[in-house]
Structure 1
Amino acid sequence: MVDYMVVGLGLAGTAFCENLRKNNKTFVVFNDQSQTSSRVAGGLYNPIILKRFTLSWRADEQLPIATEFYTQLEQFLNVRFDEKLNVLRKFASIEEQNLWFEAADKEKLKPYLDTKLVSNENTSLKAPHQFGKVLETGKLDTKLLFKSYMKWLEKENKLYTATFDYSQLIIEEGFVNYQNIKAKHIVFTEGFGMMQNPYFNHLPMQGSKGEYIVIKAKELKETRIIKSSIFLIPLGDDLYKVGATYNRGQKNNTTTEKAKNELIDKLGSLLDCPFEIVDHEAGMRPTVKDRRPLVGKHPKYANLCVLNGFGSHGITIAPWAAKSLYEHIEHQIPLLEEMSIGRFTTN
């Protein structure tokens, strides 16, 4: 008998497992890597919605917890995957500059918006109206994070790479049984894969497909993250990740020419140098209709839990939401109503 079974190992699963490890709980993880959202994402953490210059949902609560979480995880794994990088928001007009200053004057936004504008000194970028600098931002190498964490799980004999078969889950009084592994609780952190889960697929996940391209641009020589209509994220060695698209209609991880051409067109208004495409990736974001997470216990089976629905803000939301779910299970601390699945299952 272990304390927990965790199904899925993206940002949500990793964050929840770390709560278990730090609290000396026994656990096993099932992960077949079928959900690619966390692995193909840009890896950015940024507290500001840069289209409207507003604070992301509860970002001021989430960011300190996320910062501490990733620092401790780097130390535990002895791997560096968190890079502090500035995000520069390209202004399309003087009017946008004025909106930036108005936003920077608001109490909750002051810590994150620099009031000193940044002039464009990179001849390979088109930015005649300067940039605004966002503070407390950076980039996670999510592939390295997951690779390192899976390596540790394997070493500890905690990882099963087979696809989870829901039909073999037996729910008993006070525990669950799956292929002769017994656990007091099971937590599903499956991303968009939740739509195949018979216990939680009633929840209103929409899903949003996102596609990125990776370009090589030898003349660009940019070390900061640039945001215009798209993000341009430096990867080193003259490589840059560019994205992302949003498509609610398609529910797969297949790359498309349409999305690639959309990103190329948007790059045309930002770059003034040649580039070549060296990679193209796609993944399904676990988005919810009301843009809030899906966290909580199954309405009928209290030892079945879900941790999901972070959309494109998983890096900052995951450590905070995972901690909330752990405290809810172990100490009966109520979940925030905005993210509790009770907002759907009790109606």
Structure 2
Amino acid sequence: MKKVDYIVVGCGLAGISFCEVLKTNNKTFMVFDDASQQSSIVAAGLYNPVILKRFSEVWKAQTQLDIAMPSYAKIEKKLDVKVDYKHSIYRRFSSVEEQNLWFTASDKPSLEPFLSTDIKRNTNKYIDAPFGLGEVLRAGRVDTEFLISVYKKDLRSKGSIQEEGFHYSKLNISDSDVSYKSIIAKHIVFAEGFGVKQNPYFNHIPLNGTKGEVLTIKAPDLKLDDALKSSVFIISIGEDLYKVGATYEWTDKTNTPTENAKEELISKLKTFITCDFEVIDHRAGIRPTVIDRRPLVGRHPNNENLYVLNGLGTRGVMIGPYVAQKLFNFIEKNIELDAEIDINRFEN
């Protein structure tokens, strides 16, 4: 039997974030992951402190960025890779009224660090933006697919991951620890995304799950270096390739891409992009979304060694490191979880 401090189930953004906190605090762990959950891989990886539909601040945006950005920088340095690409996000204005709403929002103290007060004139002949563009600051993109790939490779080299499905029936729980196959741990953290629906210990938590589909296109003439948000977003990922997304579907819970979503994304993209492009990839995943748009973090009501880290929704890149630190402090330092992220908020 191998003894570790933690078993972590899931190696998406939530699982990686928690592993990083464990490493920082010199805790040992074993990860189990079967790559069945696609949302972190499919995600475009955009981190954006502003809700651009309403020109309002993302929940705890400044705090999240202050924790997340050093976390990704640390991973980059440790693994000698590049995963964090800092660039602006431009919001395409569809009217003078939207420009005015942007200026009003930029006067708010919480949004002032993130919204430029200069309306950018569009100079790209293949982008239709007669009312100009608003620039979001402190934004960028994490290459989530590459991050997960290199992170798993590193865990593999250290013997810290078992790439297989987790069989809940083989988990043994005692007052002092948990054991699974040949692993004994003080605690187990389930960071499974939408896969938590199959987890008998936490399938009661109100995780809705929202299907999102994203295209990768090749557009050699576009020459867009940043991210642009209109009816859909388009993000440069280099070599004339761009991510385009995303759709929102609440009933279909499969990872299968659909023609309807593809047509929807292409149709919306063509409302503001005028150059030719070719679709070269199309993916889908189920985002772990919650009705109140807050994460699901906490301890099992009857088993003190079982914990959940979930509900990162559409903003996993920003929120993952923040909630991972919160959960660690709760387990190891008895620091109470904030009521707005604690799974107990749904008790009644």
Sort the TM-score into its range (normalised by shorter chain).
Answer: over 0.9
Q: What SS class does the counterpart of residue 286 from structure 2 fall into?
A: strand
Counterpart of 1:204 in structure 2 is: 206
Aligned residue identity for 1:172: S
Q: What SS class does the counterpart of residue 123 from structure 1 fall into?
A: coil
Q: Does 1:40 align with 2:42?
A: yes
> How many residues are aligned here?
346
Q: What SS class does the counterpart of residue 39 from structure 1 fall into?
A: helix
Aligned residue identity for 1:78: D
What is the RMSD computed on CA atoms of the aligned residues?
0.7
Aligned residue identity for 1:142: T
1:19-34 equivalences under 5 Å are: 19-34=21-36
Distance between the aligned counterparts of 1:6 and 1:46, measured in 2? 28
Counterpart of 2:66 in structure 1 is: 64
Distance between the aligned counterparts of 2:200 and 2:117, measured in 1? 50
Unpaired stretches in structure 1, ≥5 consecutive residues: none
Aligned residue identity for 2:79: L
Counterpart of 2:184 in structure 1 is: 182
Counterpart of 1:228 in structure 2 is: 230
Q: What SS class does the counterpart of residue 330 from structure 1 fall into?
A: helix
Q: What SS class does the counterpart of residue 213 from structure 1 fall into?
A: strand
TM-score by length of 1: 0.99
Distance between the aligned counterparts of 1:205 and 1:265, measured in 2? 30
1:78-130 deviation line (CA, Å, top 9, x unaligned): 11110011100000000000000000001110000000011110001010000
Q: Of the candidates 308, 331, 334, which is equivalent to residue 333 of structure 2?
A: 331
Q: Runs of 4+ in structure 1 displaced over 6 angstroms?
A: none
1:283-309 deviation line (CA, Å, top 9, x unaligned): 000001111100011010010000000
Unpaired stretches in structure 2, ≥5 consecutive residues: none
Q: Of the candidates 313, 316, 321, which is equivalent to residue 314 of structure 1?
A: 316
Q: CA deviation at 1:67?
A: 1.1
Distance between the aligned counterparts of 2:344 and 2:229, measured in 1? 36
1:56-95 equivalences under 5 Å are: 56-95=58-97
1:1-347 equivalences under 5 Å are: 1-345=3-347, 347=348
Q: CA deviation at 1:66?
A: 0.7
Aligned residue identity for 1:185: H
Distance between the aligned counterparts of 2:72 and 2:233, measured in 1? 22
Does 252-261 or 65-74 show the bigger shift? 65-74
1:2-47 deviation line (CA, Å, top 9, x unaligned): 1000000001100100111111111100000000100110110000
Q: What SS class does the counterpart of residue 251 from structure 2 fall into?
A: coil
Q: What SS class does the counterpart of residue 35 from structure 2 fall into?
A: coil
Q: What SS class does the counterpart of residue 330 from structure 2 fall into?
A: helix
Distance between the aligned counterparts of 1:43 and 1:62, measured in 2? 15
> Share of identical aligned residues, percent?
53
